[in-house]
Chains A and B, each alone.
Chain A
């Protein structure tokens, strides 16, 4: 390398630095313009969803569901006391409904005139049992009159059964009965309700309350 090349090299370096500086200025200017075009304004809104939670439990001293009543005769009653509790944070839509379905396709559950029936009575406090009877120490009301199981598969609203959220309880006495006038001739059992077995599934359900429009 000769001494004469040095000034030329310095000149090229200066030219490159000047170009870089000019480019940097141009980019900075452009970014400033862009920032000006996307100015934001923000706010927050907090939403928490409610819950629906219906809980079924035994209303002591009752054992609750899952029993078997053997050799049921016409007029017999199988009483089960249960608590239906709204453990959710939402009120229900006015009432609790009950659907009853039978797993066996026999006259116990698919006959409109004979077979199993269900009635439900509500008590303001826990039910007490005595041999052959169930007693409500508070105020009681019939929330479902005696109804053939055959008519309950689609569900029916229980009267005065609305539950407030946060643990409100319905003390319900579910009475399963057998209605039968079937006649047996000389010991020959007709095709009907005699000697049959059915398992009933009780489904209590609540619909959420109607939606609310709130202006804030």
Chain B
């Protein structure tokens, strides 16, 4: 059996350095392996996507003035992906020198000739006067992907312009559907 000749000069130094690296790796490797045994781990993943919740009136401002109709309507759309159980209206009436009052009602279907399925709909709050701000909660809510319908009625049409500005807020925990427990 013949052996290759031992390399000379630079080649010999390279060979020696490589051998040293291999030896060092061999010495260190067991330490690394034993350190890894300090902990045992097991992993799993789970993904969650949150829904959005909310509702928006359109138009958000209703206006009365000389020549306007006493009844005005707005549509409230469910802008999120989760069912609502309630929502809060903030009704801001502008200032105006008028004795007129206003009422607000909601309906699950569009108002027809001032009626909600032949009735008066679901009252949202009580009587509103010019220059007031009222916050009221309603449980008549638009379904997911759908709308509900508002009608604001003035007791009499004011001579000067009065506006009703609607802001609808939906709070996550208290005004969204009953929580669901899902077992996987």
Q: Give residues in A with beta carbon < 8 Å to B.
A: 49, 51-56, 62-82, 84, 86, 88, 92, 108, 114, 116, 129-134, 174, 176, 178-189, 193-208
Complex-state Cα separation, A51 to B38, whole angstroms: 9
B81 at the interface (CB under 8 A from A): yes
**In the complex, which residue of chain A has the Cβ closest to the Cβ of B168?**
A186
Contact A204 B53 (CB under 8 A): no
B48 within 8 A of A: yes
Cα–Cα distance between A191 and B172 once the two chains are bound (Å): 14
Per-residue contact bits, chain B 136-165, to A (CB 8 Å; 1 contact, 0 not): 000000000000000000000000000000
Contact A204 B173 (CB under 8 A): no
A204 to B51, CA, bound (A): 29
CA distance A114 to B184 in the complex (A): 23
B42 CB within 8 Å of chain A: yes
Contact among A49, A73, A208 for B53, CB-based, below 8 A: A73
Binding site for A on B (CB under 8 A): 34, 37-57, 60, 77, 79-82, 167-174, 176-184
Judged by DSSP, the binding face of B is strand
Q: Which B residue's beta carbon lies closest to that of A87?
A: B40
The answer to whether residues A52 and B40 also contact, given A71-B49, A71-B82, A72-B50 and a CB cut-off of 8 A, is: yes
Q: Is the CB of A65 within 8 A of B44?
A: yes
Tell me, in angstroms, the Cα distance from A81 to B177 when the chains sit together: 25
Contacts of A189 in B (CB 8 A): 52, 54, 79-80
Contacts of B176 in A (CB 8 A): 73-75
Interchain CB contact under 8 A, B40 and A197: no
Jot down 25 A-B pairs with beta carbons below 8 A, ordered by A: A49-B34, A54-B40, A68-B46, A70-B49, A73-B176, A78-B46, A78-B48, A80-B46, A133-B181, A176-B48, A180-B50, A181-B172, A181-B174, A182-B171, A183-B172, A184-B80, A184-B170, A185-B169, A194-B51, A195-B51, A197-B49, A201-B43, A203-B41, A206-B39, A208-B38
